[in-house]
Structure 1
Amino acid sequence: MLSISPHVVLTKDEDAAVLLDKRSGTYFRLNPLAVSVFEMLSAGRSTADVVSTLQDRYPKAADRIPDDVEKLIATMRDTGVLV
């Protein structure tokens, strides 16, 4: 099961969303889709559930969503956001 690093916090406002790794000082600007993925994973939802939810939300992009989510998760793992 994926979990968010305890050192990572999400900050959002009406214009942007940023993940900050408080330990390293590294930050990542997130698009709305990435924010949705992060929030769903933070809530303990599985990757399959995240993909299904996004496919329902964005049916015109349903075929791209699984690959996009997997790439995002891989990046979050590589950068230590997900453990």
Structure 2
Amino acid sequence: MAEQQPETYLYKLEAVLEEERLLTVVVLATSDEKAFQTAENNILRHTVKPPQIKELSLVEKKPLGRHGVGYVIETAHF
């Protein structure tokens, strides 16, 4: 019998940085722990100087198998 693969989720996380910046990070992962690790790695790759993350919060988690899964991310007005 084939081993069942863990379900993959689409995660939306928010990171508050020491310099009072807010980043929204969207990742695919099979667990909450992996989502946090992946988000931290993406933040490090996104920035030139490694930032001090004050807070990293899970905002939403959706199963990837549904049709039309996604997020709307509000950004600054201009």
TM-score with structure 2 setting the length: 0.34
Structure having the higher Rg:
2
TM-score with structure 1 setting the length: 0.33
Question: Whose helix proportion is higher, 1 or 2?
Answer: 1
Q: With CA pairs under 8 Å and 6+ residues apart, which has the higher RCO, 1 or 2?
A: 2
